[in-house]
A and B are shown apart, each in its own frame.
Chain A
């Protein structure tokens, strides 16, 4: 068993060697997980906002359900998507199984509840603060929603990052619906699983380190973007 120093050195060697396969895998990981995050936000943010401000029968049950769905096991999501996208399944005619699109669908299902539940929390607190002012201004529901989403944008970016983190780190769903096909659907996590099963534990760990750096890079990029935006809007 190698020490952590050796693993780090291996990780840096891998990155510095400019290995084309590694670049491809990294790029696919980002592409799939960022797409899934954007889609999950498209679904989860409005859902979270509605749960935050609307009052309707069954709202509490809906909140509990969405919160519970945060714990969806990736493998279950993977199976669910597999059963639908398989040629034998209802959506088999689309021919999406073992494509990045299938992986994006699975990860979207996995993290949309996270985005919805966390944004519900963020927006509910914001709404409690703004509610009286907005009612006094006689704003429509849509205007209220838009204002909450915009004013909560920085907290909501963190919500999106939580979703991205879960997506880019999961292996169960993309393994099943993507198939870990070399040069087609292999991402960082499935590559790590593969190297582990080959007994190449140091290489697997090195890939894990690179995945961590990737997540770090995405978070740093978003954070600096946010700092710039804050400075600009407050200039």
Chain B
């Protein structure tokens, strides 16, 4: 069953929320500073959505609100029919910019997550490590991996939850090009398998490589939203235009 049309994209086109993500007039403040300010946005339930915007636009807060790690002060956040919460979060995985790996071996890091979902098996672990290119690293201490390897291990751990939605918060921000390529490859592979991906980045090139559609944030608001091709060819908001041209937004 299709969901009713709920709202209007900034392009004026009607979009179906499906089991997609919707923010309605969401506000969020820390210590009196309004960091998310009346944000309304719809993210389709398929493909790779790239969230872009300058520093301080609210990209990370957007992901955390969507995942339920923090709670909105006002407005509504829903995944399809369901308000954001623990049961929704169980079907999602969030890949942080800085991996927080357990002080254990690579294998134990993956096993830990598999076990928490009640499905630990050597085969599953090996499949996951193969998918992220860490075959043969199983017994290495996770914290002795390189930055790129650590991030790939975090990906494996995220995939171990068999998420329906994969959220990534600038996962390649501090990685070398080879590691970045590896992560992007995994993300594309995951999306091809039907997992919804929401990818936060401030790297325009990366956004072009990955995005099916784009959400552009500035100053705690969703300024623009739409299909990737259209967005990159002809951004409609002055903020996005300036950003794509590499200008500093003050």
Contact = CB atoms under 8 A, between A and B. Distances in A.
Q: Please determine if A and B sit in direct contact within the complex, based on CB atoms under 8 angstroms apart.
A: yes
Contacts of B69: 132, 135-136
| Complex A-B, nearest 4 residue pairs according to Cβ-Cβ distance, in ascending order | A234-B141, A136-B94, A133-B100, A138-B90
A150 B89 CA distance: 25
B86 interface: yes
Given A139-B116, A233-B141, A234-B141, 18 more contacts: A129-B100, A132-B69, A133-B96, A135-B89, A136-B92, A136-B94, A136-B96, A137-B93, A138-B89, A143-B116, A147-B102, A147-B112, A151-B102, A151-B104, A233-B104, A233-B105, A233-B108, A234-B105
29 contacts: A129-B100, A130-B100, A130-B102, A132-B96, A132-B100, A133-B96, A133-B100, A135-B69, A135-B89, A136-B67, A136-B89, A136-B92, A136-B93, A136-B94, A136-B96, A137-B93, A137-B113, A137-B116, A138-B89, A138-B90, A147-B112, A151-B102, A151-B103, A233-B108, A233-B141, A234-B139, A234-B141, A234-B144, A235-B139
Interface of B: 67, 69, 86, 89-90, 92-94, 96, 100, 102-105, 108, 112-113, 116, 139-141, 144, 161
Contacts of A150: 104
Contacts of A132: 69, 96, 100
Nearest to B115: A143
Interface in A123-164: 129-130, 132-133, 135-139, 143, 147, 150-151
Specify the main secondary structure of chain B where it touches its partner: mixed
Interface of A: 129-130, 132-133, 135-139, 143, 147, 150-151, 233-235
A151 B108 CA distance: 11
Nearest to A133: B100
A133 B86 CA distance: 14
A55 B104 CA distance: 27
Nearest to A235: B139
Nearest to A126: B103
Contacts of A235: 139
A138 to B, nearest CB: 5
